[in-house]
Structure 1
Amino acid sequence: MSTTSRSTVVIYSGGMDSFTVLHRALHEGLDVHALSFDYGQRHARELEVARHVCQELKIPHQVVDITAIHGLIDNSALTDANRKIPGGDYAEDNLAATVVPNRNMVLLSLAIAKAVNIGAGRVDYGAHGGDHVLYPDCRPEFVEQMNAVAAIANFSPVEIHAPFLRATKSEILADGLSMGLNYRDTWTCYEGRRLACGRCGSCLERLAAFADQGVEDPLAYAANTRHEPAMAQADQGGAHQDV
């Protein structure tokens, strides 16, 4: 494994955002080490997708089993299979149930450790503009403070890089399409079923991004997935916010 500052550790869930972050780092010519986490999420199918993509790209990929902490973070619809995943578009009142306590701080801390261990100078993750309302650990001030901690917590400073921190889902998709990416090999749905549900907030926001870009989503869905572009919905007071 490379131990130069041209290396980065990419926190790669298998979803759209981290898929684009992963490829953006590769397009920068970086030596990419993908890092995924099994924390007992009900949508663990994303890990299967992540494995497949990394095998196709022939890049190092490590899936870390941190299910031992599941009992500390099980008060979320994403980690408790007995809780219902909220349906409908993103809104603070119905999607707070999907917040996993302190998730990104935990994942970033482990990714920083790996970066220091292999001599990588950077950790990339896929926080973006739509996440800010619902997810405190995706906000610019969180990334800023994590960067400050990462600079002093080890002898080797590590940069926390969130390239889409102020971008919308549609803008992230546009960047990926400009790189020729095929989003068939991504998983967005919060339900861990064979087909994406097409009804949860995560699916709906994905569909809105594709509609906004005028491109058909290549993912198969269990439900009718006709969706208006995100810009049109915003005009009607139905703006989306991301996971």
Structure 2
Amino acid sequence: MNALVICSGGMDSIALAHKIAAERALTRPVSFDYGQRHKKELDSTRACAARFGVPQDVKDVIDISAVRRLLTGSALTDSGSVPKEHHAEDLMRIAVVPNRNAIMLAIAFGIAAAEQAESVAAAVHGDDRFIYPDYHPDFVEAFATTPRHAFGEMPKIALYTPFIRRVKADIVREGARLGVPCAETWSCSQGGDHHCGRCGTCLEWREAFLLADVEDPTPYEKPDYWVEACREHQEKQPSRGSELAIAGPMK
């Protein structure tokens, strides 16, 4: 079964693209410019497409940035600061872009129908379901029924979400198994020359690499901030203990 993948350029979606290319047939990555401050992630998607010889150029990035002025209230699109705290769900929720996945899925299904792809793949995963409503299995299960009603007699298109009940550490292990060039992905919520090492997304991926027992090859602007963040997390939640040992900075 072939598939197009909704690909941001982050570790999770790039790992998914590699998984599809290895297990079925990757038709193309579909990327979106929604006015995100970390637009640099789109370069990672183009590099991934080039590795597999599938279409993805500047003109293939779908520009929905015009809706940015309406999808307000997210740190990823507004001028406010991006959360810089480890596992602070109340703070991380300000990075939610309203209905983003539903918008992207609807467009991706239209492209899949036009190109006669058999499935649309999305890298929604278990770690973010508590923060992002459109990462929850209930949302995915509900949206998967949409093509049955939207396309009438056209061939049915499946929604493929193999990471839905897995966590970031699982994705890191899968990426390592598939040979994903992790250093060429972009998951940071900022848009600098290197991953900042301070935003919630950077901290979550550093944790994921540690839990997966896989070396993190990502260059960070603040590589030592990881130790400080782990210590603060332990101090704020002493009754729960910590999932992590403070192992020192990873360069």
- TM-score higher than 0.5 here? yes
Within 5 Å, give how 1:38-187 maps onto structure 2: 38-61=33-56, 62-80=60-78, 82-155=79-152, 156=154, 157-187=156-186
Decide whether the 8 Å contact of 2:27 with 2:117 is kept in 1. no
Query: Matches of residues 5-44 of structure 1 in structure 2 within 5 Å?
Result: 6-44=1-39
Could you tell me how far apart the structure 1 residues matched to 2:192 and 2:26 are?
Answer: 33
Could you report, residue by residue, the CA deviation over 1:133-159 in whole angstroms, capped at 9, with x for unpaired residues?
Answer: 000101101010001112211133211
Calculate the TM-score normalised by the size of structure 2.
0.86
- Partner of 2:30, secondary structure, is strand
State the secondary structure of the residue aligned to 1:71: coil
CA distance in 2, matches of 1:143, 1:53: 25
SS across alignment from 1:211: helix
Q: Do the aligned partners of residues 201 and 159 (structure 1) sit closer, same or farther apart at CA in structure 2, a change above 3 Å counting?
A: same
Residues of 2 paired with 1:226 and 1:105: CA distance?
34
Contact 1:170–1:209 (8 Å) recurs in 2: yes
Instruction: Say which SS state the counterpart of residue 61 (structure 2) adopts.
Output: strand
SS of 2:4's equivalent in the other structure is strand
Aligned residues: 231
The verdict on how the C-alpha distance between 1:43 and 1:29 changes in structure 2, with shifts beyond 3 A counting, is same
Equivalent residues of 1:12, 1:34 under 8 A apart: yes
Matching residue's letter, 1:46: E
1:99-143 CA deviation, whole Å, 9 max, x = no partner?
000000000000000000011110001100001100010110101
Bigger radius of gyration, 1 or 2? 2
The question of whether the paired residues in 2 share the 8 Å contact of 1:7 and 1:120 is answered with: yes
Distance 2:181 2:192 in 1: 21
2:173–2:212 contact (8 Å) kept in structure 1 = yes
The answer to whether the Cα contact below 8 Å between 2:14 and 2:180 also exists between their aligned partners in 1 is: no
Shift, 1:227, TM fit: 4.7
**In the aligned structure 1, how far is the partner of 2:200 from the partner of 2:33?**
22
Query: Residue 3 of structure 1 corresponds to which residue in structure 2?
Result: none
Letter in 2 for 1:173: V
Q: Which residue of 1 aligns with 2:248?
A: none
Please say which of residues 70-79 and 11-20 is displaced more in the overlay: 70-79
- Take 2:224 and 2:200, find their aligned partners in 1: how far apart are those partners? 12
| 1:72 partner SS | coil
The residue aligned with 1:215 is 214
SS of residue paired to 1:90: coil
TM norm structure 1: 0.89
Query: d(CA) in 2 for partners of 1:36 and 1:93?
Result: 28
Deviations 1:196-241 (A, max 9, x none): 110111000110111112222111100024757x9xx8972468xx
